[in-house]
Amino acid sequence: MLAGLRCRTTSILSASQHYQCRHFFSFPSNEPTTFSVTQRFNYPPGLIYGVVSDVQHYSEFVPFCEGSTITKTDGDGNPVEAVLKVGWNQFNEEFASKIECVKDKSVVSSAPDHSMFNVLYSKWTISPSQISENACNVKLDLEFQFKNAMYNMVSSQFAPAVSQVMVDAFTKRAHAVALQEKRKVN
């Protein structure tokens, strides 16, 4: 069994010699993969919060999101539950997501009952910039763990790139929303 393989040295090696062992496979840990991206946006926190919490429009600008429907809102109209459909090549999944919004500060989502994931969690934290009131700092924390160990091994290699693609998509959307708001004023 591959998991039981261990590197061994023999008594032939002297104390000054080193035996280097490399495994052909690296086995994923049982811990979820976590990744964070922080970026400064040249838009006020309220605009960025509006883009991140606008879940019903994710399918218009979030890569791999083919459908996004709000199924429940709170008394202030913030999304509390949504159904997202994501796809890439032959992989297509639809799942329910629980959402917690704190106006102009954060959007947290999780998929507690997903068929492919043990853990699927994201948190957008928005904080005002100390430099300008028309800018903010945004941190995206992702945590995920597939139920399939092979998916975990492969996906952990792509987490940084996928996280940056997501932040870039939200950046472009924020720019488009800012332009729309500017046109309304003029």
Over residues 42-61, the pLDDT tens digits come to 999 999 999 999 999 999 99
pLDDT of residue 152: 79
Per-residue pLDDT at 68 exceeds 50: yes
Average pLDDT taken over every residue of the chain: 82
Residue predicted with more confidence, 92 or 125: 125
Identify each DSSP E strand in the chain by its residue range. 33-41, 65-73, 79-88, 91-102, 106-110, 117-128, 136-146
Location of structure tokens 């926190």: 45
Domains of the chain and CATH, by start: 34-185 (3.30.530.20)
DSSP 36-84: EEEEEESS-HHHHHHHHT-GGGHHHHSTTEEEEEEEEE-TTS-EEEEEE
pTM comes to 0.78
